[in-house]
Amino acid sequence: MFHLSDRREREQCPQDNQPLTENDIYPDNYTRREILQLRVHCPNSKSGCPTLVELANVDRHLTECEYQIVPCPNRCSMRTMKREIADHCQSSCLRRLVNCSLCNEQFQLNQQKSHLTTCPLVALTCESCQTVTPRQEMQHHLAEECPRTVVPCTFHEVGCKERMVRADLPIHLQENTQNHMKLLVASYKNVSGFMSDLGRAVGALTSPLASPSLNRQGSSTSCASEMQRQWSCSSMQEGACATAAPHHRSVSVPSVPVEGARGTSELEQRLQMDFSKWDLGKKSASPEKVIKDICEKHVRLEQRSREHAIQIQNQRTQIKELKEALRRATQAPHEMLGRYCNGTFVWRFHNFAAEIREMTDNNAKVVHSPSFYTSPFGYKLCLRANLYVRDGECYLALFIHMRRGENDDILEWPFSGRFIVSLIDQSDNSLRHNFTEVMLTKPGLEAFERPRDDRNIKGWGFQQFMQLSRVRSHYLRRDTVIIKCVVQVGNGYREEAIPAGR
């Protein structure tokens, strides 16, 4: 190899001084592939990675290398080796999840101060009485227990307007017992009067002599207005009597804890029922019932949706497990077939079109077959296919590679034998024309030495096994090419053997 500038200066080959033209110079893809198959140290070797990897696979190795520097998955500012990322996330990451020692709630470590400002179990000190109370109980403490909180009198609903701290409330109740009793009596009288007026109004509405004409509307409206006026003019309220709004269609009865309250509720229901019949005529389904039915149906649908989601998730998990089991099950027969094929191996090269496209885009792309053995305890080999371009013509290249096996220590090296490689004609014709080439091993070749790595870098075979166009037209079917290789161990090198390319 030499630079184009050298050719322009000398116009002849630097090796044999033969004249050169532009047509005599082409990229050496074979050398490129050989270089990319060289094993080099991982770029992270200074960090401790001991792996030796093919140059073409360095990028893929870096995605799996335990010594690769990666950012923290919690998005903190730290970057560390992949092998240490788990320990970092558990012990030193500022964004790792921790549990509150009080409420057991999870939060990021850098948000601990923020959590303590809202944690319901953090102890707070009451500003009034200096009592230490958890945050979630502070409101109850202030409303029901704190002796320094200002509260109204127990009888404020019947007219007592005094307010004092809770600690002074018992003294106030003891000193004002007579006043509180007077307020209760006045409140009872007002309630009794209201009950009497309400009874008369109900009697007037339910009387069979009552006219269903406009007089009934006037009398019921006046009765309801009068009752509201009397209730709002009780002695418990301050100021003048509030004016009742005209034309009320229902009577609102306050809840008062005295005798007859149950009867009051029944009278109110009857009164509202009569007014509803008077206003609406024929009664239809209530909106409350419709809303209740809708809510119940929504709950049922949501429950079914969750059940279906759980079933789908379970089925996805089962499908994933079945796919993994199927992958292992399909991989095992291939390994068994390769081990017990006794040197006769059939490689079904699937997805041929896609692989060729990828080889066209990337000259370093090669495809290796599954491994096979010359015998159950014999040599381990594999086939390699790649694309070779010469003078604008594309060829399918095939090579044999020795692989490291379990029984290499009991075998004779270098390997010596004969390879019969055939491209199988898949046509439906009764007369099929398979294409066959024979290769014999040669002494002194690195390709047949005992493998020190998983696979020998150098292989032995044909760069121009067959034109790619011919492969497509005669030997490709259902996007699959079938290659058969027969290995015969012990047939040594002969002078008349067909020379094989490298």
For residue 477, the model assigns a pLDDT of 93
Taking a C-beta distance cutoff of 8 angstroms, is the pair 85, 68 a contact?
no
Fold of 340-489: 2.60.210
502: pLDDT strictly greater than 50:
no
Here the tokens at position 408 are: 């290499």
Q: Provide the 10 A C-beta neighbour count for residue 446.
A: 13
* Residue from 230, 158, 150, 242 nearest 193 by CA: 230
408: pLDDT strictly greater than 60:
yes
Cα 236 to the center of its chain, rounded Å: 64
pLDDT digit string (tens) for 349-362? 999 999 999 999 99
pLDDT digit string (tens) for 189-239? 887 777 777 777 666 655 544 444 434 444 444 444 444 444 444 444 433
Q: Which helix (H) or strand (E) holds 185?
A: helix 177-206
Q: What secondary structure does DSSP assign to 405-454, as a single string?
A: -TTGGGS-SS--EEEEEEEPP--SSSS---EEEEEE--TT-GGGSPPSSS
Beta bridge partners of 124: 133
Alpha-carbon distance 277 to 279, whole Å?
A: 6
pLDDT digit string (tens) for 253-303? 344 344 444 444 554 555 455 444 444 444 455 666 767 777 787 788 888
For residue 219, the model assigns a pLDDT of 43
Alpha-carbon distance 433 to 73, whole Å?
A: 58
Q: Mapping DSSP to helix (H, G, I), strand (E, B) and coil, where does residue 248 land? A: coil
Alpha-carbon distance 279 to 250, whole Å?
A: 10
CB contact burial 11-48 (16+ within 10 A = b; e otherwise) = eeeeeeeeebeeeeeeeebeeebeebbeeeebbbeeee
For residue 45, the model assigns a pLDDT of 87
For residue 207, the model assigns a pLDDT of 53
Taking a C-beta distance cutoff of 8 angstroms, is the pair 174, 155 a contact?
no
Pairing of strands 380-390, 367-368: antiparallel
For residue 9, the model assigns a pLDDT of 54
Q: Mapping DSSP to helix (H, G, I), strand (E, B) and coil, where does residue 120 land? A: coil
For residue 484, the model assigns a pLDDT of 96
Mean pLDDT of the chain: 79
501: pLDDT strictly greater than 80:
no
HSE at residue 124, side-chain half, CA atoms within 13 A, is 18
2: pLDDT strictly greater than 80:
no
SS3 per residue for 235-246: CCCCCCCCCCCC
Q: Which helix (H) or strand (E) holds 339?
A: helix 287-339
Counting residues of the chain whose pLDDT is more than 90, the rounded percentage is 29
157: pLDDT strictly greater than 50:
yes
For residue 350, the model assigns a pLDDT of 94
Alpha-carbon distance 460 to 463, whole Å?
A: 9
pTM score? 0.38
For residue 487, the model assigns a pLDDT of 96
Report which of residues 15 and 138 the model is more confident about.
138
Q: Residue ranges of the domains in the chain?
A: 177-284, 285-336, 340-489
Longest dimension (CA), the chain: 137
For residue 380, the model assigns a pLDDT of 95
For residue 467, the model assigns a pLDDT of 95
CB contact burial 240-272 (16+ within 10 A = b; e otherwise) = eeeebeeeeeebebeebeeeeeeebeebbeebe
Taking a C-beta distance cutoff of 8 angstroms, is the pair 418, 411 a contact?
no
Alpha-carbon distance 468 to 474, whole Å?
A: 10
Counting residues of the chain whose pLDDT is more than 70, the rounded percentage is 76
